[in-house]
Structure 1
Amino acid sequence: MLAAASNKYSGFASASPGAVRIENACTQWLASVIGYPETAAGTLTSGGSIANLTAVVAAREARDPDGGGAVYTTRFAHYCIEKALHIAGRGRSPRRQIETDASHRMSVAALEEALEADVRNGIRPWLVVASGGTVDTGAIDPLPEIAELCRKYGAWFHVDGAYGGLFALCDEGRELLQGIDQADSVALDPHKTLFLPYGTGAALVRDGRHLTEAFSATAHYISPLGESEVGPSPADLSPELTRHFRAMRLWLPLQIAGVAAFRAAQSEKLALARYFHQRLSEIDGFDPGPAPDLSVVAFRYVPEGGDADEFTERLLKHLQQEGRVMMSGTRIDGTYYIRCAILCFRTHVEHVDQAIDAIVEGVKTLNG
């Protein structure tokens, strides 16, 4: 509200040094959360899509300026990666879809095989995109091993952590996300994992010079008024020139509530997902899916007779129409699942219990 009412332009240090100081402080804090060194730089974005695009452009300028480099993802990569590659002029880059394990995490052996095959055939590895929490199941790819392969083959290592990357703030999440600090770039969404208002994303690059080299530009009418003491202008680190004061949404809640409150809320969401998965696994007829890495559980109901996909889809529609709980659906390798995503600071154990009650009662209703 303060940012909107003040209508503060935050793109240019000379025009709004206070706003720029706060944005740079926020991006440095985010970088410290995932373990980046002081050489890192970042920019606040409207969300994960622009954060991933920003990282892809930085990777293009650093490692693939003339094109031809290959891209490596799994089938669980968010579709905004495809959009980012297209916008960045790399939509026709050689593409390699890497197989996953039983928990839907990228196979390190399959990645190495693809990298080795490309090098052998004269194709240069350019960009490996790993997930720090997939949309479908919240799976975290094996980040340390992927980082090692990227160093070996000279590929840029990007982690799409828009959903799950900022769980690194709490102890449990930091353990799960080991290796994220080795990525060349990371996309984050504070409006997800820090429970903040929408329009609060972030792109971070381990070597901040790559952001400046990719996005810095100038014109006579907007020359700096002098040396800045507040750090780089956000307009020199991102595609945006005009940008509002979105850093206030991140900075002010941290000042008011303190970091410990956010850590506690994150730990609670991880525990609630494990609790939901455990309870569902104890109820006859349910396939609870893989144990959650983070706070998403993908589950389905398998009736004694009939098609499980059709029944699970009907169950989701029943839940949505009833209106007691909101969940969404997805297909994983053709199989239909319901997604329980626990990521609201107001969600507590009593709400998870209510959701399970609604699911069980929904099954009874559909079974007649």
Structure 2
Amino acid sequence: MIEELQHRIEQLRAQMRPLEPDGGAREALGHGALSHALAYLDQVPDAPSNRPWGEVFAHRLDPEFPEEGRDPAAVLDYIATCVDRPGFATTSPRFMAYIPGGGLFHSALGDLLAAVSNKYSGFASASPGAVRLENATTAWLAGVIGYPEGAAGTLTSGGSLANLTAIVAARDARDSDGGGAVYTTRFAHHCVDKALHIAGRGRAPRRQIATDARYRMSVEALEEALERDRAEGIRPWLVVASAGTIDSGAVDPLADIAHLCRRHGVWLHVDGAYGGLFALCPEGRETLTGIELADSVALDPHKTLFLPYGTGAVLVRNGRHLLESFSASADYIRPLGESEVGPSPADLSPELTRHFRALRLWLPLQMAGVAAFRAAQAEKLSLARYFHARLQEMDGFDAGPPPDLSVVAFRFRPQSGDPDAFNERLLRHLVEEGRVMLSGTRIDGRFTLRCAILSFRTHLEHVDDALEALARGVARVQERA
């Protein structure tokens, strides 16, 4: 019996050998993957910002998942042709649709190192070094937005989980029995609705607060709604303000809203997934005055710090609220001893098993330095103002309100015909041309174009490319009319 088991185990060990490549094989695989990555980056400056989706089927693997491993070079070729090329190129300097980040190379190296060591970053006792780095990076983020000592935070997969985490903390702190009212504008990100639903507050009384001419929350309208609810016996619970809306990049008057919330005992959450981290540069900090007064803030370093997708963060001004909402334990995961590296991320977050995300943020800050990030952010804000100013000089364009941050919402005004249909055709032309990628939205029912300048690779010449592409596009759409 024992001998048969030993023989079977040896057979299985031989069959699984491809999972444990030796030093020479690892070196060859590593060189191949690095060469692939470098070749991809080499073509980024001139490659289209969008390619036809059908290219995903340029080659087909048969079978899709083989019993025996394929030649690594062939696999990398498939990735280059069918994964890297088709669809949006968010790494392109001319990708100005949605909210691009660009994906820092330093962060890719951080992900490689984190995946190789596979450190379990949930508990300090399991990986004190990884936990120390996460606590250090979240403390640094808290300092960027001006939070005091005693704040706490955790890294998440993105803004959706960050907003959910904050709303759960707000629920437990101020609305444990339910019934509290929620106040947002019509520009609140849809992930807020999803978070309220998941947190069991999807049917909470909702108040849509009016905005001003620049699409920012009206403090007067908010005050009226709060006072009306109190007079009618409805308890105000949560105000969700924006530090950079998706549609137009508008920043609500955070300081005035914060003072109003404190007077009424309301939890203020700021969705700063797009714009909150512009507080790192002086120009952005001035626009975001008051963010430091919020009870909680959602951030996306994979946007405003240019990291790869999958890097969000939530910060709570009084860190005790995160611990009270998410700290839990079980016999099999009790700490092995006390640690001096700070709280375990698993006690501040809904996640137990978690990727060692901190390294993809910590490493570029170490290797490039904070000043480079600050300069990059200031450049993007200046580029947005430049784009807006140039649009004002171009015949037929309504440049929209001046940008608070780095998103410009604008329209072309044709001399005849349906403006919405014209702008939709203009956007479709840009997408099909593939040189510059912009996006569109609807604001108060009107189809509006968006230019979101946030890739660290986007510079003055690329914004000029976008302006030229718009001029070409208008001429082409007019020809076809």
Query: What range describes the TM-score normalised by the shorter chain of this pair?
Result: over 0.9
Deviation at 1:226, TM superposition (A): 1.3
**What percentage of aligned pairs have identical amino acids?**
77
Residue equivalent to 1:245: 356
The correspondence of residues 313-324 of structure 1 with structure 2, limited to 5 A, is 313-324=424-435
Q: Which residue of 2 aligns with 1:8?
A: 119
Shift of 1:6: 1.6
Match of 2:204 among 78, 86, 93: 93
The number of residue pairs the alignment matches comes to 368
Candidates 58, 76, 82, aligned match of 2:187 = 76
> Aligned pair 1:150/2:272, yes or no?
no
Q: What corresponds to 2:467 in structure 1?
A: 356
Q: 2:343 aligns with which of 232, 238, 242?
A: 232
Cα offset for 1:153?
0.7
Divergent runs of 4+, >2 A: none
CA distance in 2, matches of 1:60, 1:69: 9
The answer to whether 1:261 aligns with 2:372 is yes
SS at match of 2:121: coil
Aligned partner of 1:166 among 268, 272, 277 = 277
The offset of 1:198, in angstroms, is 1.0
What is the root-mean-square deviation in Å for CA atoms of aligned residues?
Answer: 0.5
The one of 40, 47, 52 equivalent to 2:151 is: 40
- CA–CA distance in structure 2, aligned partners of residues 337 and 271 of structure 1: 22
Q: What letter is aligned with 1:229?
A: E
SS in 2 for 1:127: strand
Q: Does 1:282 align with 2:399?
A: no
Does residue 311 of the first structure (1) align with residue 422 of the second (2)?
Answer: yes
Aligned to 1:194: 305
> Any idea what the Cα deviations from partners look like across 1:89-148, whole Å, max 9, x if unmatched?
000000000000000000000000000001001111100000000000000000011001
Three-state SS of the structure 1 residue aligned to 2:340 is: coil
> Are 1:366 and 2:477 counterparts?
yes
AA matched with 2:473: G
Which structure 2 residue ranges, 5 or more long, are not aligned? 1-111
Give the TM-score taking structure 2 as reference length: 0.76
Q: Which runs of 5 or more residues in structure 1 are unaligned?
A: none
Question: Does the residue aligned with 2:386 lie in a helix, a strand or coil?
Answer: helix
C-alpha distance in 1 between matches for 2:317 and 2:260: 17
In the aligned structure 1, how far is the partner of 2:119 from the partner of 2:462? 39
Task: Choose 1 or 2 for highest CA Rg.
Answer: 2
Q: Secondary structure at the match of 2:298?
A: strand
CA deviation after TM superposition for structure 1 residue 348, in Å? 0.1
SS in 1 for 2:306: coil
Residue matched to 2:292: 181
Note the C-alpha offset of 1:4: 1.6
SS in 2 for 1:85: helix
- Equivalent residue letter for 2:424: E
C-alpha separation in 2, matches of 1:148 and 1:338:
34
Alpha-carbon offset, residue 9 of structure 1? 1.2
Deviation (angstroms), 1:367: 1.0
Q: Which amino acid aligns with 2:168?
A: V
For 2:401, the aligned partner's letter is P
* SS of 1:50 mapped into structure 2: helix
Please list the CA deviations of residues 62-87 of structure 1 after superposition, one character each: whole Å capped at 9, or x if unmatched. Answer: 00001000000000000000000000
Q: Equivalent residue of 1:43, what SS?
A: strand
Q: CA deviation at 1:244?
A: 1.3
- For 2:253 and 2:128, locate their aligned partners in 1 and report how far apart those are by CA, in whole Å: 40
> How far is 1:350 from its partner?
0.2
**1:47 to partner: Cα distance:** 0.3
Q: Tell me the CA shift for residue 344 of structure 1.
A: 0.1
For 1:224 and 1:320, the matched residues in 2 are separated by 53
Q: Distance in 1 between matches of 2:217 and 2:418?
A: 29
Matching residue of 1:104:
215
How far has the Cα of 1:366 moved from its partner?
1.1
Q: Hey, what does 2:410 align to over in structure 1? A: 299
What's the CA shift string for 1:211-236, capped at 9, x where partnerless?
00000001011111111110000000
Question: In structure 1, what is the equivalent of residue 444 of structure 2?
Answer: 333
Task: Work out the CA distance in 2 between the residues paired with 1:237 and 1:199.
Answer: 18
Residue 124 of structure 1 is aligned with which of 235, 238, 242? 235
Q: Aligned partner of 1:179: which letter? A: G
Between the aligned partners of 2:418 and 2:397, the Cα distance in structure 1 is 14
Q: Letter of the aligned partner of 1:236 in structure 2?
A: D
Q: Distance in 2 between matches of 1:11 and 1:357?
A: 49
Per-residue Cα deviation, 1:245-294 (whole angstroms, up to 9, x for no partner): 00001000000000000000000000000000000011110011111000
1:30 aligns with 2:148: no
Opposite residue 232 of structure 1, the aligned amino acid is: P
Counterpart amino acid of 2:404? D
> Partner of 1:223 in structure 2?
334
Cα distance, 1:150 vs structure 2: 0.5
Paired AA for residue 292 in structure 2: D
Secondary structure of 1:21's match?
A: helix
Alpha-carbon distance between aligned partners in 1 of 2:410 and 2:262, rounded to the nearest angstrom: 36
User: Equivalents in 2 of 1:173, 1:362: separation in Å?
Assistant: 32
Distance 1:59 1:237 in 2: 14
Which residue identity is paired with 2:128? P
Counterparts of 1:352 and 1:5, CA distance in 2: 39
What secondary structure, in the 3-state scheme, does the structure 2 residue paired with 1:351 have? helix
